[in-house]
Structure 1
Amino acid sequence: MEQFAETLSGRVTTDEALQELVGLIYQQATSEPKFRSGGARLCGYLSHHLTIRSQRGSFRQVLLQRCQADYEPRYQAAKGDEAARKRFHGFVLFLGELYLLLEIEGANTEARVAALRGLLEALLSHPVGYNLICAVKFLKLTGPALKDARKEQGRTDMDEVIQRLGNVTLDAPCSEGVRHMLLKLVELRSNDWGRGPVTSASERNST
């Protein structure tokens, strides 16, 4: 990536070229699942190492502006036609990958976490199968980081999200397969997202 960034720094020298670069990476990362993680890593690297700045800002600022453009109509997208939903789901999962990679500190941390929570709210505002599947994938990706960030802020609203997902398994018109995915997600969260044992050593020794 270092060599790639150096090459781009020599060739991406105009506002239009930076906009085009961001748009190309963004389009591929949100539409091609196999490029989603790699695209996020590329964006994270270029955010720190691509030196050009346009009238709209740095690579990172232009990228976040592009993300904001798709974030604002999130509720409409969650209820849109198949093509709109597919684009929205790609955006949600890409933003999850991006969140895990960009170094975001201070007040921006809360803003970014709130944005991810907003994506979850949009998905759950229309709790049908395809939105619920996307929410499960999103939380499997970002759940541990979101929990840690909210804990540092003294917030427990992610607990409310998980409780809401649990309620969805009872009320939402979804298939048994999706219902099973939701229950497994709730179970995963109760086990600290698979990061460690739930029971203490004394409890294990007594069984």
Structure 2
Amino acid sequence: MSQSALSPDHIHVSKLALQIPVGTSRWLKPSAETSPQPIVVSVSIPVSLRRAGVSDSVGDTLNYGTVCKAITKATKRPGGFSCAEELAECIADASFATFDAVYEMIVRVEKPHGLLHADCAGVEIVRRRGASSGADKLFVENLAVGCIIGIHPWERTNTQIVRLYLEMECAGGVNQWKSAPGSAGFDHHGAASAVYDVRILPLLSLLLF
């Protein structure tokens, strides 16, 4: 997770495991879209910890236990969320509303079951109090791709599995997908399919070697 340059101190919550209905369903079952799925949330909050370091008092810092409770409460919305982008925005908004000391935060939402052949897919947003958007990223972690790659003769005849980390910066922010009517968020499946497209695999071979 990227770091803010505004403060040398940060409160981190990493890999908070939750069960939340997120996104539209590809299944025909009517209840599939409201069924909770595994979601992993991480946040990084720049805040001065000097006072708490001197006083040794939890009252002088941002209690990460309280942060976790606020995040969990924000995700208990009836009907769930249409996409990971909407969930990330909700967590940021709830944090600003709950904690006066929070003026900026990074929110990362991972969907471990988002793609069949990847560890996870998701979004990472940076939000500042009173600002409309920040530096947003879309990512796919450890996407397994079978391709012909390498310079040795045996590497040119046998398919190998390579794992790719895809990270895409959003010039217009992730809100462009969240705000679209009926939006299911960015199409991570489409991004993975583009990588699998046989037409770009020779290009991957050139780029990786």
| Same-fold call, TM cutoff 0.5 | no
- Under a length normalisation based on structure 1, what TM-score does the superposition of the two structures give? 0.27
- Under a length normalisation based on structure 2, what TM-score does the superposition of the two structures give? 0.27
Between Structure 1 and Structure 2, the one with more strand by share is 2
Between Structure 1 and Structure 2, the one with more helix by share is 1
